[in-house]
Chain A
Amino acid sequence: MDLSAISPALLLASLMVAATPILIAGIGELVVERAGVLNLGVEGMMITGAICGFAITIETGSPAVGFVAAAVGGALLSLLFAILTQFALANQVASGLALTLFGLGLSSLLGQEYVGLKPAQTPDLHIPLLSDLPFLGTVLFSHDVMVYFGLALVAAVWAVLKYTRVGLVLRAVGENHDAAHALGYKVVRIRVLAIMFGGACAGLGGAYISLIRVPQWTEGMTAGAGWIALALVVFASWKPWRVLLGAYLFGGVTVLQLNLQAAGLAIPVEYLSMSPYLITILVLVIMSADRSRAPGSLGRVFHASG
């Protein structure tokens, strides 16, 4: 065993990368759930984003265009969910699960032409001076642009929810849709937009996996990241900054256990892999005592009878 082989700076740096896909998808789902909608189809939207982003990057040679396509693809797929739950008033749990099934099938069908190809690389940013700082330069200032995008997104969502009218309305709709409707807010319209935002974020998260983290296309490549993103939102008790914390925790446990193994430490892998989920349950329990609850209307069907 040789723990000195683990470099803290590199560990933290790869933790940031490992956390980015679930962070972006998670923050999107957070907005959806704050609007009172539970979309369990994150996995399906992520994998659809992964193939849309990948295919368009191959066709155009530009990862930037690819990421835009991924966001569009994810948002389009989520629109199906929005139609089902907001207009056809279908159950959200079942619709979300159906969306995942649909997304997995759609992505592998679209992706058949793209197996084994290599996408154009997304370069890491090199920020003069900052990137050369010892330790911090490696940890914070030498990533690809999407890592920073993820952080900026968290900050933006936090600020919008907390300080703007849009955020206020969104939260009102999520807490009590009947009251929000009585106040004259367009509940359905706001929710559809929130769902599409969530879809776009999930698409971006998926594309991060297929374009940067892996980068290649293979069927089923998100391998459950969407479900982790869902867990993150709960872990975070629907607060944006805690999503970031949660993403680092989930990403961190994965990276850390691989590091410990490589350093020769005999650890029971299965039990360590369980730990983030157990921690999430623990957080849920603590949180219930803390009175910060889920949005009041989460998962409930809204129909304006008036």
Chain B
Amino acid sequence: MTITKLLAGAALALGLATSAVAQDKTKVGFVYVGPVGDGGWTYEHDQGRLAVEAHFGDKVETTYVENVPEGADAERVMTQMALQGANLIFTTSFGYMDPTINVAKKFPNVKFEHATGYKTAENVGVYSARFYEGRAIQGTIAGHMTQSNVIGYIASFPIPEVIRGINSAYIHAKKVNPDVQFKIVWAYTWFDPAKEADAAKVLIEQGADVILQHTDSKAPQAAAQAAGNVYTFGQASDMAEFSPMPRISSIIDNWAPYYIARTQAVMDGTWESDNTWDGIGPGMVGIGEITDVVPAEVKAEALALKDAIAKGEYHPFTGPLNKQDGSPWLADGETADDGTLAGMNFYVEGIEGEIPQ
């Protein structure tokens, strides 16, 4: 097993000389907040990195540093990357926002791409995915599939990104099933498998038969599988090992197309600071296979919705919509603007409970 592999590695290492670095390669650096083995957020970013390597082959050299705490450590890691000749650096956590801006000031010739933030600069672009588009499809399927009319939602932290997801899922579940009710649990963590498992079990015990999650581990999937008649959706990665039941579909973070495109832009010298917020259309948000557990007509409806969103014919936040307190938000046919969505801090009408402060 592992030991033999390690020994083989040792033999290789002794035989290898230091590989010389060719200067004409484009160097791309990645800063990760978690370990590449987290099976979720960081894992998917690393898949994107590997896709860049596979796509460009010898023309690129990628490096990464994992488990980088936000703040001073992140700033140092980025600086080191820039000093060692990186041409393009992806910083993949919201907390890297200010460090990215700071380092970018010192290296005007290096391009930076910060995930999920909102501060840009001449050489800093930001990118994020419209996960709420995927949530609309999830909500539609969930609304059809629930027998108990109770849908459980494991949320992480009360921030706009998460609240947006809850609202989008709720609106679309409600649309196909007016009796649907959401039970929301705030885990206050992005990643704590034991706690997520507990949260899933609690929701199931309280009658939920569909579990949506905005945390990264597969623990809720396993809890649902143990319970038997509960449906779940993969989060961040496909989590296909739990299909066809309980996982009936998934939202996949697919960073590869964007990473390849931006690397290409740096190679061609056409890179410009951007503010990318891509969804299903450009392929940044992927919808994992909808399994056969889902009735054919529901599947067709979900896929039709996916197409409409991808083509830009339908916006998941389309009026008439009221806020939770009943005050009007969007008029009939009006769609939400990105500014409101980016800072969303309210529930839509019908969701019970309060957003914790």
A and B touch in the complex (CB under 8 A): yes
> Which A residues are closer than 8 A to B by beta carbons?
5-7, 10-11, 14, 18, 21, 55, 59, 108, 110-113, 115-118, 121, 209, 213-216, 218-223, 225, 254-255, 258-259, 261-264, 266-270, 273
| Chain B interface residue number, banded | 35 or more
Check B160 for interface membership: any CB of A closer than 8 A. no
> Which residues of the other chain, B, contact A113 by a CB distance below 8 angstroms?
1-2
Identify the closest chain B residue to A116 (Cβ).
Answer: B39
Residue of A nearest to B199 (CB): A258
Q: Which residues of chain A are within 8 angstroms of B208 by Cβ–Cβ distance?
A: 262
Chain A residue numbers with a CB within 8 Å of B201 are 14
- Dominant secondary structure of chain B at its interface with chain A: mixed
Which residue of A is nearest B38, CB measured?
A218
| A-binding residues in B (CB < 8 A) | 1-2, 34-35, 37-39, 43, 152, 183-189, 191-195, 197-199, 201-203, 205-208, 217-219, 222, 226, 241, 352-354, 356
Collect the chain A residues with CB atoms within 8 Å of residue B193's CB: 209, 214, 216, 218, 221, 223
9 pairs from A and B in contact (CB 8 Å cutoff)? A5-B207, A18-B198, A108-B37, A118-B222, A225-B194, A255-B198, A264-B183, A267-B356, A270-B188
Known A-B contacts A213-B194, A254-B198, A264-B353; A118 and B205 likewise in contact (beta carbons under 8 Å): no
Q: Which residues of chain A are near B37, meaning CB under 8 Å?
A: 108, 111-112, 115, 218-219
Chain A contact residues: helix, strand, loop or mixed: helix
Partner of B202 from A112, A219, A220, A259 at Cβ < 8 Å: A259
Residues on the B chain within 8 Å of A115, using CB: 37-39, 43
CA distance A269 to B354 in the complex (A): 12
On chain B, the residues within 8 Å of A220 by CB distance are 35
Q: Once the chains are docked, how many angstroms separate the CA of A216 from the CA of B242? A: 12
Instruction: State A259–B184 Cα separation when bound (angstroms).
Output: 10
Closest to B153 in A: A262
19 other A-B residue contacts (CB within 8 Å) besides A108-B37, A223-B194, A270-B188: A6-B205, A11-B205, A14-B202, A14-B205, A21-B194, A110-B2, A213-B197, A214-B193, A216-B217, A218-B217, A221-B194, A223-B193, A255-B198, A255-B202, A258-B185, A262-B152, A262-B203, A264-B353, A266-B354
Closest to B226 in A: A121
Given A115-B39, A216-B218, A221-B194, decide whether A261 and B152 contact each other with a Cβ distance below 8 A.
no
